[in-house]
Structure 1
Amino acid sequence: MSKIIDQYRVTAEPYYHPVADEVELYEAAYSVRMPMMLKGPTGCGKTRFVEHMAWKLKKPLITVACNEDMTASDLVGRFLLDANGTRWQDGPLAVAARYGAICYLDEVVEARQDTTVVIHPLTDNRRVLPLEKKGELVHAHADFQIVISYNPGYQSLMKDLKQSTKQRFGALDFNYPSHDIESEIIAHETGVSTEIAEKLVSIAERARNLKGHGLDEGISTRMLIYAGSLIVKKVDAHAACRVALVRPITDDPDMRDALDAAVSTFFN
């Protein structure tokens, strides 16, 4: 057991700056093994928060990046053929339930609804996972918890969680941090000066104001860290912002010009 689960332990503290009472609320939720849903825009710190909490609680963390091709078998497990015949291999959800890890389903709405239904028996008082192909019922380990995340800004009638799924979870809302906190995060993660970090955050704030007015999504904290990392490597600030902030989020020439102008305002 230890060899299987030890690879998922978070051994070094992931840096996370609390923005409200999310740490205390999550700790309380974990104490009663409440399934949790993290809602917020791309790149605002949801995954880092889960990693930080797994480290803080000293629990292994199994992360699954959900996608539209993911099947229930990808989560639960399947029979595999090898030289000795067939053998069963647990999927990440089964491993987490069996051995007591936090299972984090990242961007869960990307998965098909018929796939996410398999988590239902684990998110109520039953806390079981039926392995129908194997004929086994896995009773979740006392330490097991399931956490899901998604970006409400992308939800549509075709891509949203069923109410029967949502109501099985407690929820924490995430957003981009305040100017000062985000600047501190950028400076800490990249090594740029506070002055440069504040300029990068100011550029992001201008871009976020354009969400819904030409941009589908604003510049994320993650993207600012990329830009800061390039600047630390002596890349010109304009070029770093062009590569890490502007070009990834839009192909529209006018929007690119507007964002390039914002960069020039702060890095003249």
Structure 2
Amino acid sequence: MSDTIKEIEKIVPFELDAGLIFSGKTSGRMVQGFESPSSFTPKEDLEYLFHESSRDVVVWFMDSSDPLYVFGPSGCGKTSLIKQLAAKLNYPVFEITGHSRLEFPEMIGHLTVKAGNMEFQYGPLALAMKYGGLFLLNEIDIIDPATAAGLNGILEGEPLCIPENSGEIIRPHPMFRFAATANSNGAADETGLYQGVVRQNLAFMDRFWLCEIEYPTPAAEAELLSRKVANLPENIRSKMIEYANSVRKLFMGEATGNLSDTIEVTFSTRTLIRWADLTIRFQPLARQGIQPVTYALDRALGYRSSRETRTVLHELAQRIFPIEDES
């Protein structure tokens, strides 16, 4: 038996007070989790700021009647939200990222040679179903609809049959959860922003509980930056958030005025934090006549974009960040 199997066989389901876990106040409402974390449990970020949408995912964890489908724009924190909530419950997460050629063996497992013998190695879906845990399928709207439809039985709570492992039947563990993330709601991408997204089968989508997540509010990101980069002046942090939201609008094609062209990059909260951190690190460059904010911006985001987009990003930065703000 592999070390992986030995470890996850030892994890013990445990009932936790939902209010105490998610808000710090006893509520009397219980949620199923695990007694202690394992190597498959995401590391908890104590400074993570939960979205307002997190209440939907919390309720889902408390009574998971259907699989969960979380969708929203790139960089809004879909995967991190699910994993941080799982971390609070000590939930093991077995994760895979979808792609156009994804096939069942990648999710279920495959035969491998070990010590001269053929042995079946479980994939993330089989592990979650057999031993209890969260199967997280990212970018589900990129996979082929025929492959996705093959999951219908599992989404309905039916057992998994593995012919390659002597016809093994895996009945869903009581702690098994199925969650997926996507940029679209399964009805294809009408915006043209996400290459590879395809329309999913209506019957497949009907099996999910859908949850839409947007970018964090300015107030939420202001609180987060105050924790992460407290030594950066508040007015600079505020303008960074304003800038990030302007870039997001350009990305989504929602900007107005002279800067109204759609661009190919967006501003995740992670990128926002990186930009603020780099601005502090590069502050000594101000003595050389180099603006730390724009210098850090290229290294946090600009260099990922085309030259045309970088010009737009710099023009936007000049509007929002007067030179005197960086002195």
> Quick check: 2:157–2:172 contact (8 Å CA) kept in 1?
no
Instruction: Give the whole-Å Cα distance in 1 for the aligned partners of 2:214 and 2:117.
Output: 50
Tell me the equivalent position of 1:223. Answer: 271
Is 1:262–2:313 an aligned residue pair?
A: no
Instruction: Give the whole-Å Cα distance in 2 for the aligned partners of 1:190 and 1:112.
Output: 42
RMSD: 2.4
Is 1:129–2:129 an aligned residue pair?
A: no
3-state SS of paired residue (1:226): helix
Q: Aligned letter for 2:281?
A: K
> Quick check: 1:98–1:138 contact (8 Å CA) kept in 2?
yes
Offset of residue 51 of structure 1: 1.3
- Structure 1: runs of 5+ lacking an equivalent: none
> Quick check: 2:98–2:139 contact (8 Å CA) kept in 1?
yes
Task: Choose from 239, 242, 245 the match for 2:301.
Answer: 245
How many aligned residue pairs are there?
A: 264
Offset of residue 50 of structure 1: 0.7
Instruction: Give the whole-Å Cα distance in 1 for the aligned partners of 2:55 and 2:293.
Output: 38
Offset of residue 159 of structure 1: 1.6
Task: Choose from 121, 129, 132 the match for 1:100.
Answer: 132
Tell me the equivalent position of 2:151. Answer: 119
Q: How does 1:18-167 map to 2 (within 5 A)?
A: 18-20=50-52, 22-33=53-64, 34-126=66-158, 128-134=159-165, 135-152=167-184, 153=189, 154=193, 159-167=198-206
Tell me the equivalent position of 1:205. Answer: 245
Offset of residue 170 of structure 1: 0.5
Instruction: Give the whole-Å Cα distance in 1 for the aligned partners of 2:81 and 2:106.
Output: 25
> Quick check: 2:75–2:266 contact (8 Å CA) kept in 1?
no
3-state SS of paired residue (2:151): helix
Instruction: Give the whole-Å Cα distance in 2 for the aligned partners of 1:217 and 1:238.
Output: 16
Q: Bigger CA drift: 2-11 or 69-78?
A: 2-11
> Quick check: 2:83–2:93 contact (8 Å CA) kept in 1?
yes
Q: Bigger CA drift: 151-160 or 42-51?
A: 151-160
Is 1:181–2:220 an aligned residue pair?
A: yes
3-state SS of paired residue (1:210): helix
Larger Rg: 2
Offset of residue 11 of structure 1: 4.8
Q: Residues 120 and 181 from structure 1, CA distance in 2 versus in 1: closer, same or farther, beyond 3 angstroms?
A: same
What is the TM-score normalised by the length of structure 2? 0.73
Q: Residues 88 and 39 from structure 1, CA distance in 2 versus in 1: closer, same or farther, beyond 3 angstroms?
A: same
3-state SS of paired residue (2:224): helix
3-state SS of paired residue (1:209): helix
Q: Which structure's relative contact order is higher, taking Cα pairs within 8 Å and 6+ residues apart? A: 1
3-state SS of paired residue (1:81): strand
Among the aligned pairs, what percent are the same residue? 22
> Quick check: 1:44–1:222 contact (8 Å CA) kept in 2?
no
Q: Bigger CA drift: 94-103 or 174-183?
A: 174-183
What is the TM-score normalised by the length of structure 1? 0.87
- Structure 2: runs of 5+ lacking an equivalent: 12-37, 254-260, 284-291
How far does the alpha carbon of each residue in 1:64-113 deviate from its partner, in whole angstroms, 9 at most, with x for none? 12223432101001111233221100001111111111111111123333
